[in-house]
Structure 1
Amino acid sequence: MLTDAQRRAKQPVSALLAGPYGHPLHPILITVPIGAWVASLVFDIASHLTGDPGFLTRGSPWLIALGVIGALAAALVGLLDLRAIPSGTPAFRVGVTHMALNLLVTLAYAGDFAWRRAAQPPEQAVRPAMLALSAVAVALLGISGYLGGKLAYRYGVRVADEDTQAEGYTGHGP
């Protein structure tokens, strides 16, 4: 039997903005920053493995920028999902930690973008310190992703209840 707090955490604050019951938008939006930032790290590493690193060095900051824009969209929807979790609960604390890590990563990448635009020679391999910043940011993103998974899969935040899930196993659903 679900508690009132669990029921509340499964419901969207705004179905229009955060996605309908059982189908939140946050998980699909996070694919943009994750993909862009991991690709930028791959570009950074590859810039050290080729004789002509310029195209990788020039492309990486734009992947970073795309990730920052995508992260802002995911954060807005994620904040709505966080508002559905009752404060003072373990799920809320995990949600706040998840949000704080994501904001830290986004700020690190925004700073990294500005730093590269100001100080990275466009035809040389990405500077080691810039590459290191990206690697640390991706590692923090992985930790945050683990916490996001805990919110969904352990605490069931924005996940349909088991009675609704059972429709997928009865042969009668849509």
Structure 2
Amino acid sequence: MDEAPERAPERAKEPVTVLAGPYGHPVHPIFVTVPIGAWAASLVFDIASHVVARGDFLVRGSQWLVAVGVIGALVAASVGFLDLFAIPPGTSAFRTGLVHMALNLAVTAGYAAGFGWRLADRHHHASSVGPGPIALSVVCLAALAVSGYLGGKLAYHYGVRVADEDTQARGFTTARRRTGN
């Protein structure tokens, strides 16, 4: 049985389980900061490994950041998946969520492959990251930016896992208004 279209936005605001975070405060946006930060920093380390003398410490640091990002992305994906389940299938929001998820999984797979590439390549480029892994990181970060745009569209345009307007309005009332004075 199809759900009434007017109920769909309300359903998408509710967590499907406590693991997704409480009403109006999903944990997915909190967890995504780990892979985004780690992967952006890894690119900075990659480039810096070409600028400094003896950049081997940057090569190792970048590799660790890529690994931290992959692990963080898997954690973020697990709770993001729960948020996707709250969106009624067949809707524009659900299709946007699927593309968001697919891009994120592709980026995570790209970084996982890049991690393996870096391991195999570390003897050839001990003091700097090779051009291939850097190019892969740039492509993955660009895809991540598109995915982030779609994630923002889910939250800010479609209101997925965002508190309803009545709940939001309570945050803008003054103490005087609440007491009736």
Unpaired segments of 5 or more residues in structure 1? Answer: none
Moved more, 123-132 or 164-173: 164-173
User: Within 5 A, what are the aligned runs for 1:48-127?
Assistant: 48-121=50-123, 123-127=126-130
Residue 156 (structure 1) aligns with: 159
Q: Please, what TM-score do these two structures have when normalized by structure 2?
A: 0.92
Contact 1:55 1:123 in 2 (8 A): no
Q: Please, what TM-score do these two structures have when normalized by structure 1?
A: 0.95
Give 2:26's match in structure 1, choosing from 24, 27, 41. Answer: 24
Residue 143 (structure 1) aligns with: 146
User: Highest Rg: 1 or 2?
Assistant: 2
Provide the aligned C-alpha RMSD in A.
1.3
Residue 34 (structure 1) aligns with: 36
Deviation at 1:72, TM superposition (A): 0.4
Contact 1:82 1:95 in 2 (8 A): yes
Deviation at 1:115, TM superposition (A): 1.1
CA-to-partner distance for each residue in 1:89-144, whole Å, 9 max, x for gaps?
00000000000000000000011111111222363211011100001101110000
Contact 2:121 2:130 in 1 (8 A): no
Residue 9 (structure 2) aligns with: 6
Unpaired segments of 5 or more residues in structure 2? Answer: none
Identity of aligned residues (%): 64
CA-to-partner distance for each residue in 1:62-104, whole Å, 9 max, x for gaps?
1000000000000000000000000010000000000000000
